[in-house]
Structure 1
Amino acid sequence: MAAASDKARFFLEQSVPELKEYERKGIFSADEITSIARKRSDFEHKINARGSTATDYARYAEFEINVEALRRKRVKRLGVKTTTHGGKRRIFFVFDRGTRKHPGDVDLWLQAIEFARKEKAYKKLQQIFASVLRLHPRKSDLWIYAAEFAMDENGDMTEARSYMQRGLRFCKSSKPMWLEYGRLEMSYIAKLQARREILGIAGSEARRATESAEEDENVLQLPKLTAMDVNPDVEGEEIDKAALQTLDSTPAMSGAIPIAIFDAAMAHFQDPAFALDFFGMVTEYDNLPACRRIAEHVESGLMKDYGQDWHSQICHIRLPVVSVPADSPAFVPAFREVLKRLKTAREKIQDPGFVPSARSCLQGLLELPDLDPAIQTVGDAVLASLQIS
């Protein structure tokens, strides 16, 4: 117990100059300084004693985060020169001590990650990711989180792919991991498309590239993809990042990588339910030229191998209106084809899961903006006839 008290006293003494400066500059009153010191003393004695938990560290970090937020507000309001003591360093120090003592507590790691991300402490965040992924390589959510950070915050698609591919070595049986890998690639295509539109080069050239890809799948003008790019079980540690980086060019818009991801995942899972989830994810990007081609690939594979499964039929029903704007003339015949396929599927599919999913699919179409009133009327009538038993 004496050792715990000595450690607590040592850490508390380190914060004395900081507290004195706060009082001297009028950032905190004497009573507030006393209250902060008392709370820190309580936390330090608690975490240095036997039986301390990850929750104790989390609460300590939360307290320090609140103190730092209040300090910043007062510094800004009072116009005081920034203090030399780093509030962030103190908070990260609490997290570091906590994660070293309780490395198995993922929630504490996530709290540290969220704080680092909020503070834009990217170098520290990289260190945290490296540590937590080394300790918890089979937590697929952590790999997904790291990939999203690399893509959204750093804008580094190569790093994001690296996280996904390394994660799939450990979490190959994680369906969400494969699904999010596909989503990552679709988001990247969307970013490329937006960039091209801003630069004014997203017109006929992009359409020609997509049309060419649709005409002959064996003559894709794409850098050659290795098996490692989509299937991390392949031998060898070296990831062909260079090939993936070059996909920033126009041919990337054809959607070759999401298709390869889907094929690799289906080879492993052979699960129509996963394919339907992948199809739904792809159609969230139906404004992209590549969306239609990817959706057709998913649907054709399902109908070929699992044609009698209701998940396949839902994809088959939904396909005609993929990437067809609701206010375009082409939507009317496409919607007519949807209803035709729905009628055919109802006659041969007896699985109880089909009708609820079909209703959900049709309901989603009827909620599209700019939908023609006549289509709405017909759709409502069909929807009413789809009774859930």
Structure 2
Amino acid sequence: MAGVPEKARFYLERAVPQLREFEAKGIFTADEIRSLVRKRTDFEHVVLSPGNKPTDWLNYAAWEKSLESLRAKRCRRLQIRASSKHTGQGRVFGILERAVNRHPSSIELWKEYLAYAKDMKATKRYRKVMTRALRMHPTKPELWVVAGRRSAGNGDMQAARGFFMRGARFCSRDATVWLEYARCEMEWLERMDAKKGKRGGTQRALQEQAEHSDDEIKFPEEDSEDDDADESNRLVLPNPENSTAKKVFDEEATKKLEGNPALDGAIPLAIFDVATKQPFFNASIAEQFFNLFATFDAVSAQARIIQHVLESMTQQYPHDPATCFCHIRQPLINVGTSTPPYPKALREALGHLKSSLSTTSDKFRLAEKIESWAESILTSEDLDPGIRIVLEHTVQSLPKP
């Protein structure tokens, strides 16, 4: 078996053509190239040593990316157009590929690999790497979130839902996937509501919701006789490029879909309802759902969704400080501190606070939440003096441990 020096020499020799191009075109001087070779040799010896760590590979990839960035800047300054960027990108991809093969359990390496493929717009490589990462770490919620949000960002909500639903099945001990799934759906509702305000937007929103042709992650059958063994043993991700053409909806079909519950917040509600039955669910997780839904003030179904969350919290955790805190904040949702309705909403919230302090199971914990919330409002410079006095008095009158 070859030792570390022999392996390092093998990888270093593959970079010789690029170094010759640097020298021939004057991108780097001879002294700079010698310095590059020494630095690259040091990195190769480190990552090929038996005790290498994932951080060593990350540092190596970061250095190569900085070198490629410097090469691009000098080419622009020297007006050199014949120098290809693919060689430098290929070296970074090669390092990251070796890194995940050497440390397949490192989530940071997989995430760095995916981030670089996304930045370089290497769609096919991104899909392949994501497939491998999910098969290797199906119980890591952050990978499912990255996959889902990537698809949603590209406008493929059906593929995004497929990722989130599969991730929710594997990650039943953590609320991360569920919360991000709900966030993604709320963002989708926000976009749909924005489309409704435009001419023909309602029909386009209904058409987008009705497309279900590419909403799953497919596992090939074990007895598949595909000619490509690697393809048959790999998770197949939805590919928006291969999706079928959009169906044409006539006016009659559109009218039938106008009552589509998905456009009225049914999916976020379903996510929350299913999450309440999971082992990780508690009052704190319910409060996180409440806080998440409260940020989407442009969603028309927000009030109904928040009310549903509060009713569920009241039923399961009636006296928990988290439930009381959400009830106190409910009147103030979407009400700006400088708007005329704010004093009335604040009066209602303080009324809930007074009753909650006498019924909550932990008044000191509730007082901490109220104090933190009030202080965040008091930091506003344009806050009305009367409201400021009321909030300061409220904070001072809270029970202390």
- The TM-score normalised by the length of structure 2 is 0.78
Output the amino acid matched with 1:386.
L
**Distance in 2 of aligned mates of 1:151 and 1:249:** 24
- Where do 1:40-79 residues align within 5 Å? 40-79=40-79
Query: What is the deviation of 1:125?
Result: 2.1
Contact 1:47-1:53 at 8 Å conserved across structures: yes
Check 1:159–1:368 CA distance in 2 against 1; reply closer, same or farther (3 A cut): farther
What whole-Å deviation, never above 9, does each CA across 1:110-160 have from its counterpart, x for those lacking one? 2222322333333322222211111111111221122222223x2322222
**Which is further off, 279-288 or 328-337?**
328-337
Contact 1:47-1:57 at 8 Å conserved across structures: yes
Among 260, 263, 266, the alignment partner of 2:270 is 260
- Where do 1:205-284 residues align within 5 Å? 252-269=262-279, 270-284=281-295
2:228 aligns to what? none
**Distance in 2 of aligned mates of 1:173 and 1:248:** 37
**Distance in 2 of aligned mates of 1:38 and 1:131:** 33
Output the amino acid matched with 2:38.
R
2:38 aligns to what? 38
What whole-Å deviation, never above 9, does each CA across 1:291-349 have from its counterpart, x for those lacking one? 21111111112223322222211111111222344455443332221111111111222
Contact 2:18-2:87 at 8 Å conserved across structures: no
Contact 1:192-1:248 at 8 Å conserved across structures: no
Output the amino acid matched with 2:68.
E
- Where do 1:106-121 residues align within 5 Å? 106-121=107-122
Check 1:357–1:200 CA distance in 2 against 1; reply closer, same or farther (3 A cut): farther
2:352 aligns to what? 341
> Aligned with 1:360: secondary structure?
helix
> Aligned with 2:277: secondary structure?
helix
2:332 matches 1:321:
yes
> Aligned with 1:104: secondary structure?
coil
**Which is further off, 68-77 or 308-317?**
308-317
1:179 aligns to what? 179
2:150 aligns to what? 149
2:366 aligns to what? 354
Contact 2:320-2:361 at 8 Å conserved across structures: no
Query: What is the deviation of 1:75?
Result: 0.8
Output the amino acid matched with 2:290.
F
Output the amino acid matched with 1:334.
A
Structure 1: gaps of 5 or more residues: 207-221, 230-236
1:382 aligns to what? 394
1:233 aligns to what? none
What whole-Å deviation, never above 9, does each CA across 1:228-258 have from its counterpart, x for those lacking one? 99xxxxxxx9x9x99xx99999854422111
> Aligned with 2:104: secondary structure?
coil
Contact 1:292-1:323 at 8 Å conserved across structures: no
Query: What is the deviation of 1:378?
Result: 2.3
1:168 aligns to what? 168
Check 1:360–1:292 CA distance in 2 against 1; reply closer, same or farther (3 A cut): farther
Contact 1:326-1:369 at 8 Å conserved across structures: no
Query: What is the deviation of 1:177?
Result: 2.1
**Distance in 1 of aligned mates of 2:297 and 2:43:** 52
What whole-Å deviation, never above 9, does each CA across 1:328-376 have from its counterpart, x for those lacking one? 5443332221111111111222513111112233444556787554333
What whole-Å deviation, never above 9, does each CA across 1:76-124 have from its counterpart, x for those lacking one? 1111013245211111001101111211122222222232233333332
> Percent identity between the aligned chains?
37
Contact 2:141-2:171 at 8 Å conserved across structures: yes
1:132 aligns to what? 133
Q: Which has the higher helix share?
A: 1
Check 1:53–1:277 CA distance in 2 against 1; reply closer, same or farther (3 A cut): closer
Check 1:318–1:111 CA distance in 2 against 1; reply closer, same or farther (3 A cut): same
1:300 aligns to what? 311
Query: What is the deviation of 1:384?
Result: 2.3
**Distance in 2 of aligned mates of 1:368 and 1:362:** 11
What whole-Å deviation, never above 9, does each CA across 1:28-54 have from its counterpart, x for those lacking one? 111111222222233334434444333
1:80 aligns to what? 80
Query: What is the deviation of 1:27?
Result: 0.7
**Distance in 2 of aligned mates of 1:347 and 1:318:** 17
**Distance in 2 of aligned mates of 1:311 and 1:149:** 32
**Distance in 2 of aligned mates of 1:283 and 1:378:** 24
2:99 aligns to what? 98
Structure 2: gaps of 5 or more residues: 204-208, 217-234, 248-253
**Distance in 1 of aligned mates of 2:332 and 2:383:** 12
1:288 aligns to what? 299
Check 1:328–1:55 CA distance in 2 against 1; reply closer, same or farther (3 A cut): closer
What whole-Å deviation, never above 9, does each CA across 1:55-81 have from its counterpart, x for those lacking one? 332222122111111101001111101
**Distance in 2 of aligned mates of 1:162 and 1:131:** 17
**Distance in 2 of aligned mates of 1:248 and 1:97:** 52
Output the amino acid matched with 1:27.
I
Contact 2:319-2:361 at 8 Å conserved across structures: no
